[in-house]
Structures are given as C-alpha cells and as structure tokens.
C-alpha cells in the first residue's frame, strides 16, 4: 500500500479522519461535562485543594468518640437522630489536576490530528474528481 500512494491517499485518510473526529467530539463532550459540573467545576479545574462541606441528616442516634478529651483521653458522645451535620469532602487533589491537564492536552492533540486530515481529505476528493 505504501508503494501505491494514490490508492493509499483515498483509502487511508477517511478512516483516520473519522477516528480523529470522533475522538475529538468525545473529548469536547468530556470538557463540557467538567465545566458544567457544580462541584468541583470549572473554577477548581487546576486546584489541588477545594474543600466543600456535604450537608447530611443523621437517621438514627450516632456515637462518636472524642480524642484528647478531659476524661481518660477519649470520651463518648451521642449525636441524636435528625441532626444536620457537615461532612468535609475534598474532591480535588494532584491527580485531579493531572487528569484535567491530560484531558485538555488530549483535546489539543485530537484537534491537531483532525485539522490537517480535513485538509488532506478535501485535497484527495479534489484530486480524485480530476
């Protein structure tokens, strides 16, 4: 196939263009879903620390043990049912930043692969009609 460049030009470009375009499409959808997410969202895309409390209501009495309490180092404490509590959560980390950078680099790479293929595809069509 490599020795017959005229046949390769028309048969190899279309599948590669379709693959690159589909990959670019799904990468763009991933970026849009990341930007539309309420938490951590676009504001924390490159942040390795984004704490946010999660509000929850306890369904039943819950016992917790306090460290460094005045009574023998630990103390029991019962939180009654239907108490609203804030649970700390932090979805951002160094892996989050690396994943977002890799996703954006993937979009750029797919765009770089799709753009020249579009030009080659139109050139191949033009040459095949003459």
- Among candidate residues 82, 64, 66, the one with its CA nearest the CA of residue 74: 66
Q: How confident is the model at residue 1 (pLDDT cuts 50, 70, 90)?
A: low
CA quadruple 20, 25, 28, 30: dihedral positive or negative?
negative
Other C-beta atoms closer than 10 Å to the C-beta of 26 total 13
**For position 114, what pLDDT does the model report?**
86
Q: Does 80 share its domain with 108? A: no
Q: Does 12 share its domain with 24? A: yes
**For position 124, what pLDDT does the model report?**
64
Convert the pLDDT of each residue in 6-43 to its tens digit: 666 667 777 888 888 999 999 999 999 999 999 888 98
Residue 126: is its pLDDT beyond 80? no
Convert the pLDDT of each residue in 81-125 to its tens digit: 999 999 999 999 999 999 999 999 999 999 998 888 777 767 766
Q: Does 26 share its domain with 62? A: no
**For position 103, what pLDDT does the model report?**
96
Total domain count, the chain? 2
The dihedrals phi and psi of 105, each to the nearest 5 degrees, come to: -65, -35
66 contacts 74 by C-beta, under 8 angstroms: yes
Using the CB atoms, write b or e for 43-67: b if 16+ within 10 Å: ebbeeeebeeeeeeeeeeeeeeeee
Q: Does 8 share its domain with 32? A: yes
Q: What residues make up the domain containing 72?
A: 54-90
DSSP H helices, the chain, are 5-36, 94-129
Convert the pLDDT of each residue in 53-73 to its tens digit: 999 999 999 888 777 666 566
**Distance between CA 27 and CA 108 in Å, rounded?**
9
Give the rounded distance of the alpha carbon of 15 from its chain centre. 27
């Amino acid at each position: 196939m490599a020795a017959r460049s005229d046949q390769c030009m028309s048969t190899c470009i279309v599948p590669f263009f379709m693959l690159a375009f589909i990959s670019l499409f799904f990468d763009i959808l991933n970026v849009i879903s990341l930007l539309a997410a309420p938490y951590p969202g676009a504001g924390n895309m490159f942040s390795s620390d984004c704490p946010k409390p999660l509000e929850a209501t306890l369904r039943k009495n819950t016992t917790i043990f306090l460290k460094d309490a005045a009574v023998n180092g630990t103390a029991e404490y019962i939180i009654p049912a239907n108490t609203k509590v804030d649970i700390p959560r932090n979805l951002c980390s160094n892996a989050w930043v690396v994943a977002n950078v890799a996703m954006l680099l993937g979009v750029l790479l797919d765009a770089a692969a799709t753009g020249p293929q579009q030009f080659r595809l139109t050139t191949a069509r033009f040459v095949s009609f003459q």
